Amino acid sequence: MFELVSKGGRLKVASHGEDLDGLFSASLIALIHPEDLEIYFTAPYEIRESLESFDIVLDLPPPRGGTRILVDHHESNLALLNRVKTAFLRPEYPSTARLLYDILREWEPQVEDFSRTVDLVDQTDTGNLDLFSALFTAAIRKIFKRKRSDLVKVARDLLLHPPTTSDELINLPAVKREVDLIEREYGDRLRELLSLEGGEALLVRIESLPSYLVPVIQLAARRYRFFGTITTGSDGALRLSLRSREDSPLSALEVAERLGGGGHRNAAGALIMPSRMEDLLAIVGSRMEFELITV
Ligand SMILES: [Mn+2]
C-alpha cells in the first residue's frame, strides 16, 4: 500500500464525496502523494456498477472495473472483494479515515499531526452529529450535487486548517460560504423544525426544502422514539431515511426491511415507489401514534 502511494507517478483515487470520512480520507492520500493525483468524489450507488478502474478506492464499494487497493469499513462491501487486489476492509473501525491513518502512520509519522481531526471524523461517521457537523454535511452534499469538483478544495482545506471541533468544520474557507447561504435561505425553517417538542413518531415529507438538508432535519430525531424523512429522487422514487431510539416499539431496520431496504437497527433506509407510501404509514401506524408533516 505505502509503496504505491509514496512512489511518484499518476494515482487514480475514488472516494466518498458525501461526508467528512470520504473527504478526509482523500486528504490523507493527498498529504502523502500531492503530485499527479486524480481524485474522483463519488457515491456508493454510482460506483458499485461502474466499469472504471482505480488505483485506490476509499470508503466505497469497489467498482466492477476493479481497484488495486480498497480501504473501507462497510461490512456490506465484504461481498465484493473479488474486485480488489489488496483489501483493507475492517468493519470494526469507526471510520475509513481512522483505518487509513493507522496504515499510513507506520510509514509516515507526519500523518500523526492529524490525529485530532481523525477523532472528529470518527465522531461524525458514527452518527454523532451536532448542529455544526450536520450543517457541514449538508453543505458538502450541496457541493456534491451542484459542483463536485469543488470538493477537492474542501479536502485541501482539511489539511491546511485541520479541524478538531465541529465549529471549525463549518469555518473552513471552502465550506463557510455554503453554510452561510444555507443559514440565510433556510435558517428560520430549520430552527422551527429543530424546536418541535418531540413525542412518539414523526415522519417528515420533504418537498419544498432541498434534500441535502436531511442531515440537519434529522437532528430532530432524538426527540422522537421513531423518526423518518421522505425525499423524492430525480427518478420519482422516494428515499426513506429512518431513525429509532432504543425505547421504540418499532426499529428503523424492521420498517426498512419490510419495504425492501436495510441498514443498522436504529438507522436504516429504503427506496420505495410513491405508491408504497401507504404501506409505510400502515406499518408505523399499526404499532405507534405518529404524525406526518410536509415541509
Ligand atoms: Mn465512512
If you measure from the C-alpha of residue 287 to the centroid of ligand 1, how many angstroms do you get, rounded to a whole number? Answer: 32
Band (pLDDT 50/70/90 cuts) for residue 261 is confident
If you measure from the C-alpha of residue 231 to the centroid of ligand 1, how many angstroms do you get, rounded to a whole number? Answer: 22
If you measure from the C-alpha of residue 22 to the centroid of ligand 1, how many angstroms do you get, rounded to a whole number? Answer: 6
If you measure from the C-alpha of residue 10 to the centroid of ligand 1, how many angstroms do you get, rounded to a whole number? Answer: 25
If you measure from the C-alpha of residue 45 to the centroid of ligand 1, how many angstroms do you get, rounded to a whole number? Answer: 14
Strand order in the sheet with 224-232: 262-264, 267-272, 238-244, 224-232, 199-206, 290-294
Residue 198 Ramachandran class (φ > 0 left, ψ -120 to 50 alpha, else beta): left
Band (pLDDT 50/70/90 cuts) for residue 199 is very high
Query: Domains of the chain, with CATH numbers?
Result: 9-176 (3.90.1640), 196-294 (3.10.310.30)
Q: Please say if the pLDDT value at position 182 is more than 80.
A: yes
Q: What is the model's pLDDT at position 294?
A: 96
Closest CA to 294 of 247, 238, 255, 256: 238
The helix or strand, by DSSP H or E, that contains position 182, with its residue range, turns out to be helix 173-194
Q: Picking from 2-6, 203-207, 269-273, which range would have the lowest pLDDT averaged per residue? A: 2-6
More confident residue, 268 or 242: 242
If you measure from the C-alpha of residue 294 to the centroid of ligand 1, how many angstroms do you get, rounded to a whole number? Answer: 30
Read off the pLDDT of residues 138-181 as tens digits, 9 standing for 90 and up.
999 999 999 999 999 999 999 999 999 999 999 999 999 999 99
Read off the pLDDT of residues 42-98 as tens digits, 9 standing for 90 and up.
998 899 999 999 999 999 999 999 999 999 998 889 999 999 999 999 999 999 999
Enter the pTM of the model: 0.91
If you measure from the C-alpha of residue 232 to the centroid of ligand 1, how many angstroms do you get, rounded to a whole number? Answer: 24
Q: What is the model's pLDDT at position 126?
A: 81
If you measure from the C-alpha of residue 123 to the centroid of ligand 1, how many angstroms do you get, rounded to a whole number? Answer: 11
243 three-state secondary structure? strand
If you measure from the C-alpha of residue 105 to the centroid of ligand 1, how many angstroms do you get, rounded to a whole number? Answer: 19
Long-range contacts of 258-267 (CB under 8 A, 24+ apart): 258/283, 259/283, 267/127, 267/242, 267/243
If you measure from the C-alpha of residue 58 to the centroid of ligand 1, how many angstroms do you get, rounded to a whole number? Answer: 9
Q: What is the model's pLDDT at position 212?
A: 96
d(CA 58, CA 100): 9
If you measure from the C-alpha of residue 44 to the centroid of ligand 1, how many angstroms do you get, rounded to a whole number? Answer: 11
